[in-house]
C-alpha cells in the first residue's frame, strides 16, 4: 500500500467501464484496487488491451458474498469506492431475475453496510442507469433528474432498489453516496451481446466475408448513445463534489437501433437491407422504447459534456472490430482473444495471520 497515494476500490474492474475508469484514475495518480469474482476463464482482456493489468491490484470478492466484500474494503482501505459491478445485460435479467436483483440491488446494500460499519467517510459512487426511466417519457420528451422512474425489467428494478438505498443511507447516516444516472455508453471494449458491439462486430465480419447475416430484435428502440471513456470521467467528477447528489450523464441525442445499423453498414460500404434479419429470439418481453437524456445539471455543476458524436462512436467501434478481425485473420495473437495470458498480475490474497 502506497500511503502517499489516494486509494480507490472499483467493483466491476474487468468490465467496460471498470477498465476505462481504472486507467483514468491511475493517470490521476490513484492507487487502484479492483475486485474480481472467480470465474472459470480469466477475463482480463480489457485491462490487458489498455495495458494496465500489471498496474492495478486485484482482490477476489463477489457482490453476493458480504464477507469477501468486507475483506476487500478493509484491505484496500479506500477513500473512494466505485460500484460498477452488475449483471448488466437487461435481456438476461428476464432469464435470471433473482440473481440480477441479488447482485444489482442487494449487492450494493452489502457494500453500504460494510462501509457504514468500517468507515463512513468513504465516498461511494453507484452506477445507476437510464433504464430506470422505462417508458415514463414519450417519444418527444427528454429525461432528467426529476423525471419519474418506471422500471421495465428486473435489471432496472434491482438498480432502482440500489438508487433508493443510496438516498436512504445518505439521509440516515450522513454518508457520501452519489448516483450517476448514465445513459447507454459504448466503446471498442463493449461486451459482444450489447446491440452496438454486436452490430459493429458482425458488420466487420460481413465486410471480410466471414459472415453474411446479422440477426437483431427490435430495430425501432431508440437510445441515447455516448462514448464510455467520456462517461467514466463524469463518475470521478461526481465524487469530487462538495455534497453527494445524483446526476444524469447523456448526450441529449437519440438514435434508433436501425440508424446505428445503417451507419455501420454505410462505413463498410454495404446495403444493410441485404444482411439484416429481424429475429424474435432477440426481442425482450418488455423493452424500453425511447431514451434521451438531459445532462444540463452535470454541465452546470461541474462542466461535464460529451466529447464524442454518434457518428464518431460508430466509426471507432467499427474500425476497431474490422482491425481485430483482420489481425485475427492474419494469425496475430492480441489482447482481445489472448485472455489466458494473465501476465504480471498483482493479486492480494487472504493473509494467514488475520
Task: Confirm or reject binding of residue 144 to ligand G4F (CB under 6 A).
Answer: no
User: Which of these, 7, 156, 9, 19, lies nearest to 69 by C-alpha position?
Assistant: 9
* Residue from 206, 216, 264, 276 binding ligand G4F (CB under 6 A): 216
Q: In angstroms, what is the minimal distance from the CB of 42 to ligand NAP?
A: 9
The 3-state secondary structure of the chain, one letter per residue: CCCCCCEEEEECCCCHHHHHHHHHHHHCCCEEEEEECCCCCCCCHHHHHCCCCCCCEEEECCCCCHHHHHHHHHHHCCCEEEECCCCCCHHHHHHCHHHHHHHHHHHHHHHHHHHHHHCCCCEEEEEEEHHHHCCCCCCCCCECCCCCCCCCCHHHHHHHHHHHHHHHHHHHHCCCEEEEEECCEECCCCCCCCHHHHHHHHHHHHHCCCCCCEEECCCCCEECCEEHHHHHHHHHHHHCCCCCCEEEECCCCCEEHHHHHHHHHHHHCCCHHHCEEECHHHCCCCCCCECCECCHHHHHHHCCCCCCCHHHHHHHHHHHHHHHHHHHHCCCCCCCCCCCCCCCCEEECCCCCC
Task: Confirm or reject binding of residue 88 to ligand G4F (CB under 6 A).
Answer: yes
Q: Which of 44, 155, 275, 295 is catalytic?
A: 155
Q: Which of 31, 131, 186, 202 is catalytic?
A: 131
In the residue annotation, 169 being an active-site residue is answered as no
Task: Confirm or reject binding of residue 62 to ligand NAP (CB under 6 A).
Answer: yes
Q: Which of 129, 147, 196, 254 is catalytic?
A: 129
Task: Confirm or reject binding of residue 282 to ligand G4F (CB under 6 A).
Answer: yes
**Residues written for the chain:** 354
204, 209, 215, 218: CA torsion to nearest 10: 40
Task: Confirm or reject binding of residue 188 to ligand NAP (CB under 6 A).
Answer: no
Determine the Cα–Cα distance for residues 215 and 329; give it in Å rounded to an integer.
Answer: 23
Task: Confirm or reject binding of residue 202 to ligand G4F (CB under 6 A).
Answer: no
Q: In angstroms, what is the minimal distance from the CB of 227 to ligand G4F?
A: 13
Q: Which does 17 bind (CB under 5 to 8 A by kind): ligand G4F, ligand NAP, none?
A: ligand NAP
- Between helix 107-118 and helix 154-173 the angle, nearest 10°, is 20
Task: Confirm or reject binding of residue 143 to ligand G4F (CB under 6 A).
Answer: no
Decide whether 189 or 206 has the Cβ nearer to ligand NAP: 189
Residue 215, strand partner residues: 277
Task: Confirm or reject binding of residue 94 to ligand G4F (CB under 6 A).
Answer: no
Task: Output phi, psi for 10, to 5 deg.
Answer: -115, 125
Q: How many residues bind ligand G4F (CB under 6 A)?
A: 23
Q: Which does 221 bind (CB under 5 to 8 A by kind): ligand NAP, ligand G4F, none?
A: ligand G4F
Task: Confirm or reject binding of residue 165 to ligand NAP (CB under 6 A).
Answer: no
In the residue annotation, 131 being an active-site residue is answered as yes
Decide whether 22 or 264 has the Cβ nearer to ligand NAP: 22
Decide whether 166 or 206 has the Cβ nearer to ligand NAP: 166
Task: Confirm or reject binding of residue 115 to ligand NAP (CB under 6 A).
Answer: no
Q: In angstroms, what is the minimal distance from the CB of 46 to ligand NAP?
A: 8
Task: Confirm or reject binding of residue 198 to ligand G4F (CB under 6 A).
Answer: yes
Cell of 56: 492495478
Q: In angstroms, what is the minimal distance from the CB of 141 to ligand G4F?
A: 16
In the residue annotation, 129 being an active-site residue is answered as yes
Site string for ligand G4F, 169-188 (x = CB under 6 A): --------------xx----
Q: Which residues form the interface with ligand NAP (CB under 6 A)?
A: 11-12, 14-18, 35, 37, 39, 43, 62-64, 84-88, 103, 127, 129, 182, 184-185, 191
Q: Which residues form the interface with ligand G4F (CB under 6 A)?
A: 88, 90-91, 129-131, 183-184, 193-196, 198, 216-218, 221, 223, 257, 282, 284, 287, 291
Residues annotated as catalytic (active site), given as ranges: 129, 131, 155
Amino acid at each position: 500500500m502506497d500511503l502517499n497515494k489516494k486509494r480507490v476500490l472499483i467493483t466491476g474492474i474487468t468490465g467496460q467501464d471498470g477498465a476505462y475508469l481504472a486507467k483514468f484514475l491511475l493517470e490521476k495518480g490513484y492507487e487502484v484496487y479492483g475486485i474480481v469474482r472467480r470465474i472459470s476463464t480469466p477475463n482480463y482482456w480489457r485491462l490487458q488491451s489498455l495495458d494496465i493489468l500489471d498496474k492495478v491490484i486485484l482482490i477476489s470478492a463477489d457482490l453476493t458474498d458480504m464477507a469477501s466484500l468486507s475483506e476487500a474494503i478493509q484491505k484496500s482501505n479506500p477513500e473512494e469506492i466505485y460500484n460498477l459491478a452488475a449483471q448488466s445485460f437487461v435481456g438476461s435479467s428476464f432469464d435470471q431475475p433473482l440473481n440480477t436483483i441479488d447482485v444489482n440491488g442487494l449487492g450494493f446494500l452489502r457494500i453500504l453496510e460494510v462501509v457504514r460499519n468500517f468507515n463512513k467517510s468513504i465516498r461511494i459512487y453507484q452506477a445507476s442507469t437510464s433504464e430506470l426511466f422505462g417508458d415514463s417519457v414519450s417519444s418527444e420528451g427528454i429525461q432528467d433528474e426529476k423525471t419519474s422512474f418506471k422500471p421495465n425489467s428486473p435489471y432496472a428494478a434491482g438498480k432502482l432498489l440500489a438508487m433508493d438505498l443510496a438516498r436512504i443511507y445518505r439521509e440516515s447516516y450522513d454518508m457520501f453516496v452519489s448516483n450517476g444516472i448514465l445513459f447507454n455508453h459504448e466503446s471498442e471494449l463493449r461486451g459482444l451481446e450489447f446491440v452496438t458491439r454486436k452490430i459493429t462486430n458482425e458488420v466487420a465480419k460481413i465486410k471480410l466475408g466471414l459472415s453474411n447475416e446479422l440477426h437483431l430484435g427490435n430495430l425501432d428502440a431508440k437510445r441515447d448513445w455516448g462514448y464510455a471513456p467520456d462517461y467514466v470521467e463524469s463518475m470521478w467528477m461526481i465524487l469530487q463534489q462538495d455534497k453527494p447528489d445524483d446526476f444524469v450523464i447523456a448526450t441529449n441525442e437519440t438514435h434508433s437501433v436501425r440508424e446505428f445499423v445503417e451507419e455501420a453498414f454505410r462505413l463498410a460500404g454495404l446495403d444493410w437491407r441485404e444482411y439484416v434479419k429481424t429475429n424474435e429470439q432477440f426481442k425482450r418481453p418488455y423493452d424500453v422504447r425511447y431514451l434521451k437524456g438531459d445532462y444540463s445539471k452535470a454541465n452546470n455543476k461541474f462542466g461535464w459534456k460529451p466529447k464524442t458524436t454518434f457518428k464518431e462512436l460508430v466509426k471507432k467501434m467499427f474500425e476497431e472490430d474490422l482491425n481485430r478481425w483482420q489481425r485475427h485473420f492474419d494469425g496475430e495473437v492480441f489482447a482481445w482473444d489472448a485472455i489466458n495470458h494473465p501476465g504480471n498480475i498483482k493479486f492480494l490474497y487472504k493473509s494467514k495471520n488475520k
